[in-house]
């Protein structure tokens, strides 16, 4: 066999170096990412709703390709849009969900009653949104501070009397908050850790902000439930990471923190609330050990578990499309409810446009009159849904389906039927 010319060898070496440089790396431990968890193709940013005036223009689509790190087991997307593009002008306002407000109020009551939070202490919430949670601490006389990068949402919180800094959180901002307000006795971080591209800077900021004897509670959808419930529609570009205890223990340890307690809660299709403190300050509870054992029992410690997720996702897609095609052939009309990010992922992955779903109703005025990105399905008021009376109403935020069915109880009065696609296609009788 002839030896290739030196120039050809250099070309191959350069190509290899380029491929290695382009390979995504784990945002937690830095290892190269090579194992696919699920590839949902190209999709627009899920909360980047399209204005009607822009309907004739192009929009950006990015790969929705989730990897799992073979070293630390963190499931994650690569970063395609900057946090500034995604979060500075945000369309989600927490206070429009009745069940989420109830969840927040119950949480505050537990912190006051069972976890030692009291007037005179300092509570900081990261991703505090429109003040939906901190308002309950204020009523109890607890000093609070909200931090949220979405300026439009933070303005609503301040109008509500919740002091809010509209910046991205990390080590630098944590140091300024400690200097200006003092350390936090409790840090609340609900459904934000998954949204952070620089997860080490964020967790490092928690370590810097947290008082020596303080603790943080961090809530996030549990990766185990995502897999078991085929919740692939919770995968979208602003969710950079998909979290398990197995992946988080080494991340927190890297910053001198430890998980000392955990609660399994029903929000978002099954979430975890972990309690985190400075390492060595609190004993590690049996709940933490039990959770890690549970994750191991379901195979989350084995890399081969992760790629197997794909076939379940394809089954859901096929069943959803078969329903839409069948309804169309039968002359039935289909509307949707809840213009959540889940709707953007599902509709774009399925390729379902207005020929299948005429509109999606939502009670948030911040979404009404806009279009779901990619598929350009119009977002309308609930009154429009009631006026048009579709034969089927697809509930996209399946995690609050019971709340939506109660709000739209009159749908059944005109013979309408509710549909959910995940974890499997279900059409209410």
Closest by Cα among 279, 226, 277 to 38 = 226
Task: Say how far apart CA 319 and CA 325 lie, in whole Å.
Answer: 10
Residue 276 within any structural domain of the chain:
yes
CATH label of the domain that carries residue 216 = 3.40.50.150
Cα angle for residues 222, 225, 230 (degrees, 5° grid): 130
Give the list of residues 6+ apart from residue 365 with CB closer than 8 angstroms, or none.
none
pLDDT at 96: 67
Specify the number of domains making up the chain: 2
Give the end of a domain, one of 282, 301, 321: 282
Does 277 share its domain with 324?
A: no
Does 376 share its domain with 262?
A: no
Does 390 share its domain with 330?
A: yes
Does 391 share its domain with 322?
A: yes
Cβ count near 266 (within 10 Å)? 11
Give the list of residues 6+ apart from residue 331 with CB closer than 8 angstroms, or none.
none
Does 341 share its domain with 392?
A: yes
Residue 83 within any structural domain of the chain:
no
pLDDT at 92: 55
Residue 7 within any structural domain of the chain:
no
pLDDT at 95: 67
Closest by Cα among 329, 359, 346, 331 to 398 = 346
pLDDT at 13: 40
Does 152 share its domain with 260?
A: yes
Task: Say how far apart CA 153 and CA 156 lie, in whole Å.
Answer: 5
Q: Residue 322, exposed/middle/buried by CB under 10 A (0-12, 13-18, 19+)?
A: exposed
Give the end of a domain, one of 282, 301, 329: 282
Does 199 share its domain with 325?
A: no
> What pLDDT, in 10s, does the model give residues 204-257?
999 999 999 999 999 999 999 999 999 999 999 889 999 999 999 999 999 999
Q: Report CA-CA distances (Å) from 281 to 73, 215, 251, 259.
A: 27, 10, 18, 11
Does 186 share its domain with 103?
A: yes
Residue 168 within any structural domain of the chain:
yes
**SS3 readout for 266-301:** CHHHCEEEEEEEECCCCCCCHHHHHHHHHHHHCCCC
**Given 3-state DSSP classes, what are the helix, strand and coil percentages for the chain, each rounded to the nearest 5?**
40, 20, 35
Task: Say how far apart CA 68 and CA 239 lie, in whole Å.
Answer: 14
CATH label of the domain that carries residue 319 = 3.40.50.720
Give the residue carrying structure tokens 């989600």. 92
Give the end of a domain, one of 240, 262, 282: 282
> What pLDDT, in 10s, does the model give residues 206-221?
999 999 999 999 999 9
Does 242 share its domain with 382?
A: no
Residue 34 within any structural domain of the chain:
no
Give the list of residues 6+ apart from residue 353 with CB closer than 8 angstroms, or none.
347, 375, 376, 377
Give the list of residues 6+ apart from residue 13 with CB closer than 8 angstroms, or none.
none
Cα angle for residues 353, 424, 355 (degrees, 5° grid): 15
Residue 317 within any structural domain of the chain:
yes
Helix (H, G, I), strand (E, B) or coil at 261: strand
Does 134 share its domain with 277?
A: yes
Domain hosting residue 160, numbered range:
94-282
pLDDT at 10: 39
Give the list of residues 6+ apart from residue 62 with CB closer than 8 angstroms, or none.
42, 43, 44, 45, 80, 81, 237
pLDDT at 267: 87
Helix (H, G, I), strand (E, B) or coil at 102: helix
Residue 414 within any structural domain of the chain:
yes
pLDDT at 98: 82
Name residues of the chain where pLDDT drops below 50.
Answer: 1-21, 88, 91
Task: Say how far apart CA 390 and CA 319 lie, in whole Å.
Answer: 20
Does 318 share its domain with 278?
A: no
Does 273 share its domain with 374?
A: no
Q: At residue 65, what are phi and psi to the nearest 5 degrees?
A: -120, 110
């Amino acid at each position: 066999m002839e030896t290739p010319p030196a120039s050809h060898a250099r070309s191959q070496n350069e190509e290899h170096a380029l491929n290695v440089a382009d390979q995504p790396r784990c945002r937690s431990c830095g290892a190269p990412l090579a194992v696919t968890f699920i590839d949902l193709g190209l999709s627009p940013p899920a909360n980047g709703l399209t204005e009607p005036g822009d309907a004739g223009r192009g929009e950006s689509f990015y790969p929705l390709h989730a990897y799992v790190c073979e070293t630390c087991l963190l499931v994650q997307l690569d970063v395609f849009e900057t946090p500034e593009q995604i979060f500075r002008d945000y369309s989600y306002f927490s206070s429009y969900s009745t069940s989420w407000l109830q969840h927040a109020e119950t949480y505050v009551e537990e912190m006051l009653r069972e976890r030692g939070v009291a007037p005179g202490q300092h509570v900081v919430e990261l991703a505090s949104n429109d003040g939906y949670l901190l308002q309950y601490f204020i009523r109890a006389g607890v000093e609070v501070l909200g931090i949220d990068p979405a300026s439009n949402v933070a303005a609503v919180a301040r109008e509500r009397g919740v002091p809010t800094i509209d910046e991205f959180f990390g080590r630098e901002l944590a140091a300024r908050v400690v200097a200006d307000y003092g350390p936090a006795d409790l840090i609340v971080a609900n459904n934000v850790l998954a949204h952070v591209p620089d997860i080490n800077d964020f967790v490092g900021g928690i370590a810097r902000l947290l008082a020596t004897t303080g603790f943080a509670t961090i809530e996030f959808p549990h990766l185990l439930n995502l897999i078991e419930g085929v919740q692939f529609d919770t995968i979208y570009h602003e969710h950079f990471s998909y979290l398990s205890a197995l992946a988080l223990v080494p991340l927190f340890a890297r910053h001198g923190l430890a998980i000392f307690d955990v609660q399994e809660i029903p929000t978002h299709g099954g979430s975890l609330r972990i309690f985190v403190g400075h390492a060595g300050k609190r004993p590690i509870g049996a709940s933490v050990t039990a959770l890690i054992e549970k994750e191991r029992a379901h195979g989350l410690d084995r890399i081969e578990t992760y790629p197997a997720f794909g076939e379940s996702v394809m089954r859901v897609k096929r069943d959803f499309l078969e329903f839409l095609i069948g309804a169309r052939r039968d002359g039935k009309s289909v509307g949707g409810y809840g213009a959540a990010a889940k709707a953007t992922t599902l509709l774009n992955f399925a390729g379902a446009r207005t020929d299948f779903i005429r509109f999606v109703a939502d009670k948030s005025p911040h979404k009404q009159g806009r279009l779901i990105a990619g598929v350009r399905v119009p977002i309308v008021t609930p009154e429009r849904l009631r006026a048009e009376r579709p034969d089927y109403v697809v509930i996209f935020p399946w995690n609050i389906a019971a709340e939506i069915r109660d709000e739209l109880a009159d749908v059944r009065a005109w013979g309408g039927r509710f549909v959910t696609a995940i974890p499997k296609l279900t059409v209410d009788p």
